[in-house]
Chains A and B, each alone.
Chain A
Amino acid sequence: DVVMTQTPVSLSVSLGGQVSISCRSSQSLVHNNGNTYLSWYLQKPGQSPQLLIYKVSNRFSGISDRFSGSGSGTDFTLKISRVEPDDLGVYYCGQGTQYPLTFGSGTKLEIK
């Protein structure tokens, strides 16, 4: 199985600040079809996960441009700029390139 390693485990940021979350995979996430199926999700307290970013850098419908994804191969980053109170929660990366689909262990974002 592809192991997804997220860092840091948690981070605290001031409102209006910027944060980066790293996600590394144990194998390349480049699919045979040339696509890289790396997604980012946010799980707000008491809610289901919601998709933020798909295929590394594509924002899902309705997602603010304050969220941006980048990376390639096995190394990926989610950046959140101008952090708002509603951004708090746990962020997960996930891969859909290889079965079984796997997720990182999560990064908890707290607002200072």
Chain B
Amino acid sequence: QVKLLQSGAALVKPGASVKMSCKASGYTFTDYWVSWVKQSHGKSLEWIGEIYPNSGATNFNEKFKGKATLTVDKSTSTAYMELSRLTSEDSAIYYCTRISYWGQGVMVTVSS
């Protein structure tokens, strides 16, 4: 069955960066776009962007350009998202998703 297994929670200092992973299994990784979605505490869902593992092509929400970098490692069927120059506004749960399937989420806390 399709699974998206995300890395663990992260506590990071303001101004730092964080990189999280999303390991896919149960399907051909290179055939489907992988999206990343942000959910701030108690709030709705914000689409950050997506990557097509086969080519590395990306599409971004303008709001997250310069904030998020999306990459993949086809050899391990893993997608990555790096968030840079973190502030308290970046504290949230981040999901990787094929839209039809979702990872369990990564809680990122930005605090000194």
Contacts and interface: CB of A to CB of B under 8 A. Distances in A.
Q: Do A and B come from one complex?
A: yes
B62 A51 contact: no
Contacts of A60: 100
Interface in A47-73: 48-51, 54, 60
Q: Which of B35, B99, B101, B104 has the most CB of A within 10 A?
A: B99
Interface in B90-107: 95, 97, 99-105
A96 B99 contact: yes
Given A48-B105, A49-B95, A94 B45 contact: yes
B44 A106 contact: yes
B99 A51 contact: yes
B100 A48 contact: no
Interface residues of A, number: 18
A104 B43 CA distance: 10
B59 interface: yes
Given A100-B61, A100-B62, A48 B47 contact: no
B61 to A, nearest CB: 4
Q: Which of A49, A51, A96, A100 has the most CB of B within 10 A?
A: A100
A54 to B, nearest CB: 7
Nearest to A99: B59
Interface of A: 39, 48-51, 54, 60, 92, 94, 96, 99-106
Closest 7 CB pairs of A and B: A100-B61, A101-B47, A48-B102, A103-B45, A105-B44, A51-B100, A100-B47
